[in-house]
Structure 1
Amino acid sequence: MPDAVVMVAMGVDAERHVDDLLDLAWATGATLAHLQGRDPSVAAELDRLRATGATSVTLVPASLGHRAPTRTWLRRIAADWSRRHPDVRVDVAGREVTGREAPLTSAAWEHVPDHARQVLVCRGPRCSARGAGETAAALDDALTVRGLGDDDVLVTQTGCLFPCNHAPVVVVHPEDTWYGRVGVPEASRIVDEHLVGGEPVTGLERPRVRGAARR
């Protein structure tokens, strides 16, 4: 038996489910860590457990939401930590991490993509509660259908962008165009009319229009 079990929320959608995950972790005697977007990170939780004297830890991935990262990413992160702390055995879903897994770095990830535009999708607590996960998925799906990848449009899910009353919030750069209440239909319009057609979408809610006076 491992000294400790850690449930790992894999996707950025964990913000919407964190209370349920904490309840489940408590009921099963596990603690909770996050692969991305929220603390504690996997590495931080492993550090904490090691400091308490744990010599064996099992990580249990909990995949939530649209296109959550695969277990391969969790194994990479666990292996990176294990190479620095070989005194602690780490398993991912019962399979031991050897430290020989692929590293966190790769030649393919050396340079910034040559994207013409970057789309920020707010994944703060209010935007997530109002469907920002579905918005991000709809943007990804619409871009894929139109044959656009990271070298054309880089979609980035962020923390709170602040105009929470307009959730879900989406921002397109370099035009600095802000859209509010962006659901699935609105996401498709942004892709067709703005990212492909080149013009900001008319008729969508705009939390801030470029050039307007700021309070």
Structure 2
Amino acid sequence: MTTGEGVSPGDGVTGGRSVEVLVGMSVAEIASRRDLAAAARRRGAEVAYLQHGDPSLGAALARAVDGGASEVRLVGVDLAGSAPGVSWLRRVVAHWTRTWSGDPVLVAVAERHAVDLADEIGIDERVASARPLTGREAGLTSVAWERVPSHRHQVFVCRGPRCAAAGGAQTQRAIVAALAERGLGDDDVLVTVTGCQFPCNHAPLVSVQPDDVWYGRVDPAAAGRVVAEHLVDGVPVAEHRLPR
């Protein structure tokens, strides 16, 4: 683990060990959890997940402090290029620090996510440039998130282990790109990444609600058809539709 300069203990933080945590930011890292764990072992780091996985980020932070850490440096990991941004990681960490009642700890967050677990130099650079929390980070709530979304369709893209191995990340990107090309946003079609949906033999799997339509073997070309024919024209794509 590389410890950079420019991060000094804050008020009430005494000398102690520094802990590095690689934070899986999305379900893509859940599917690649063995690779993430191996990368952490090589670096003498810990693993946490922002969503879906265990240990949660809060649990990992608490364990680090309980183990004697006075400084924790977090590096978000985004293997699919579609994870929440650094600002979200800072929000979640800031919420944890505001509610933490144990020993004081300095938490710093890398300003860019790691995108390649084999790039040790790149991860070192992110750890070294990690920026401490300022105390001015936004909270977990916002007026913009008060209401239930008004979208007419919700597309669930499976990113469980089998779908991830079969190209679920490419399917997700193709759907998002096809929607963007048509000027459709979250208020029209909300794309949600999930864990395993079953039936895995038809990976990559996509389901469309509230139409109760399930699609199998949705490669990027099929994803474009789902957007154009089903979500825009209202006609399900028969070749990829699974029986219900």
SS in 1 for 2:27: coil
Is contact 1:10–1:68 with CA below 8 Å preserved after alignment? yes
* Aligned counterpart, 1:146: 182
- Is 1:184 matched with 2:233? no
Q: Please, what is the CA RMSD of the aligned residues? A: 1.5
Task: Give the match for residue 40 of structure 1.
Answer: 55
2:127 corresponds to: none
Partner of 2:107: 90
Q: 2:26 aligns with which of 11, 34, 39?
A: 11
What CA distance in whole angstroms lies between the structure 1 residues aligned with 2:143 and 2:235? 35
Shift of 1:13: 1.3
Is the contact made by 1:80 and 1:99 (CA closer than 8 Å) also made in structure 2? no
% of aligned pairs identical? 51
Aligned equivalents of 1:66 and 1:194: distance in 2? Answer: 26
Aligned 8 A contact 2:48 2:60 in 1: yes
3-state DSSP of counterpart to 1:147: coil
Q: Note if contact 1:9-1:34 (Cα within 8 Å) is conserved in structure 2.
A: yes
Unaligned stretches of 5+ in structure 1? 210-215
Quote the offset at 1:205 in angstroms.
Answer: 4.6
SS in 1 for 2:156: strand
Pairing 1:1-215 to 2, within 5 Å after superposition: 2-85=17-100, 87-93=104-110, 94-206=130-242, 208-209=243-244
| 1:124-151 residue CA offsets vs partner (Å, 9 max, x unmatched) | 1111111111111111110011111111
> Structure 2: any 5+ residue segments left out of the alignment?
4-16, 111-129
| Deviation of 1:179 (Å) | 0.5
Whole-angstrom distance in 2 between the partners of 1:154 and 1:7 = 28
1:85 shift after superposition: 2.4
1:10 deviates by: 2.2
Cα distance in structure 2, aligned partners of 1:25 and 1:78: 20
- In 2, distance between residues paired with 1:85 and 1:205? 48
Quick check: 1:82–1:99 contact (8 Å CA) kept in 2? no
Q: Secondary structure at the match of 2:207?
A: strand
Q: Aligned partners of 1:26, 1:51: CA distance in 2, in Å? A: 20
Distance (Å, rounded) in 1 between the aligned partners of 2:141 and 2:217: 37
Q: CA deviation at 1:55?
A: 2.3
CA contact (8 A) 1:15 1:128 kept: no
* C-alpha separation in 1, matches of 2:36 and 2:165: 15
Q: What number of residue pairs does the alignment pair up?
A: 208
Alignment deviations for residues 142-175 of structure 1 (CA, whole Å, 9 cap, x no partner): 0011111111111111111120111111111111
Task: State the one-letter code of the partner of 1:77.
Answer: V
SS at match of 2:137: coil
How big is the shift at 1:63? 2.4
Q: 1:213 maps to what in 2? A: none
- Secondary structure of the residue aligned to 2:169 is helix
- SS state at 1:76 partner: helix
- Tell me which moved more, 120-129 or 47-56: 47-56
- 1:80-122, Cα deviation, whole Å (9 max, x unpaired): 1111227121111221113321111111111111011111111
Q: Once the 2 structures are TM-superposed, how far is the Cα of residue 42 of structure 1 from its aligned partner? A: 1.1
For residues 208 and 76 of structure 2, the distance between their equivalents in structure 1, rounded to whole angstroms, comes to 32
Query: How many Å apart are 1:51 and its aligned residue?
Result: 2.5
